[in-house]
Amino acid sequence: NAGVTQTPKFQVLKTGQSMTLQCAQDMNHNSMYWYRQDPGMGLRLIYYSASEGTTDKGEVPNGYNVSRLNKREFSLRLESAAPSQTSVYFCASREWNSPLHFGNGTRLTVT
Amino acid sequence: GENVEQHPSTLSVQEGDSAVIKCTYSDSASNYFPWYKQELGKRPQLIIDIRSNVGEKKDQRIAVTLNKTAKHFSLHITETQPEDSAVYFCAASRGKIIFGKGTRLHILP
């Protein structure tokens, strides 16, 4: 039982490049989330999907897009990466009013 | 939207003493309040959670209290041990989950 799987683990991009962070869960959870973590800023919500077919903005959605491909998968896309998007990105999933289960994170550096 | 404030940002306690971390939230409709522990380089892990119909919950050395009227909740760790050193995050939810900025807890020998 893998839980929440994120790929890649590490990525270095140049300013202006695009990429997609992948996330998949095998717990049959309805809700999925993308957070970014920066020193001293805690975990900030980028986008979330309460159920398959729906997505909503979080606290810091600018510069990102998401796709809830099916119940298992929720991807995060950076269309034109900026140095301010250097961060650790966590995907998570859960059922309503239950704990979040986090993936191991993607460490992204934009130069 | 929901806003979660967490204090203190850093806390140092002697091994064996108690540690208390406090959080306030802004959305009175929030009904689920988890606490996470994060060790360096690892993902956050749930340590305890409480729902809005409960005022207090305890699990061995860890307890959480919730005051819905005042919109604040607290984490209490008793008999602290070196392995309690980590960053702790509170969160509030009524759908999406919003986190506080974290408390770095140092357990001093």
Query: pLDDT tens for residues B4-26?
Result: 999 999 999 999 999 999 999 99
Q: Residue holding tokens 């298992």?
A: A72
| Mean pLDDT calculated for residue range B82-108 | 95
pLDDT of A55 over the 80 cut: yes
Chain B residues whose CB is inside 8 A of the A107 CB are none
Which residues in chain A have their CB less than 8 angstroms from residue B34's CB? 99-100
Supply φ then ψ for residue A64, to 5 degrees.
-130, 155
Confidence class of residue A39 from pLDDT cuts 50, 70 and 90?
Answer: confident
User: Would you say residue A1 has pLDDT above 80?
Assistant: no
pLDDT in tens, A64-89: 999 998 999 999 999 999 999 999 99
CB contact under 8 A, B44 and A50: no
Cα–Cα nearest to A39, from B14, B102, B81: B102
Interchain contact, A42 vs B95, CB within 8 Å: no
Q: Which residue from A48, A99, A105 is facing B96, i.e. has the nearest CB?
A: A48
Q: Å from A34 to nearest chain B CA?
A: 11
By CB atoms closer than 10 A (0-12, 13-18, 19+), residue A18 is: exposed
Contact A97 B43 (CB under 8 A): no
The length of chain B, given as a count of residues: 109
Overall average pLDDT of the A40-63 stretch: 94
In B, minimum Cα distance to A98 occurs at: B32
Q: Which of B7, B30, B99 to mutate to test the interface with A (most CBs of A within 10 A)?
A: B99
Amino acid B94: pLDDT: 87
Joined tokens for residue B54: 């409960």
Which residue is closest to B99 within chain A, CA to CA? A43
pLDDT, tens digit, for every residue of B25-81?
999 999 999 999 999 999 999 999 999 888 999 999 999 999 999 999 999 999 999
Whether B105 has a pLDDT exceeding 90, the answer reads yes
A67 vs A95: CA distance, rounded Å = 19
**Averaged pLDDT score across all residues of chain A:** 95
Phi/psi zone of residue A83: left (φ > 0), alpha (ψ -120 to 50 degrees), beta?
alpha
The nearest alpha carbon in chain B to A41 belongs to: B101
pLDDT per position as a tens digit, A10-21: 999 999 999 999
Tell me, what amino acid is at B45?
Q
At residue A97 the predicted structure's pLDDT band, cuts being 50, 70 and 90, is: confident
The residues facing A20 across adjacent strands are A77
Please state, in angstroms and rounded to a whole number, the distance separating the CA atoms of residues B93 and B34. Answer: 9
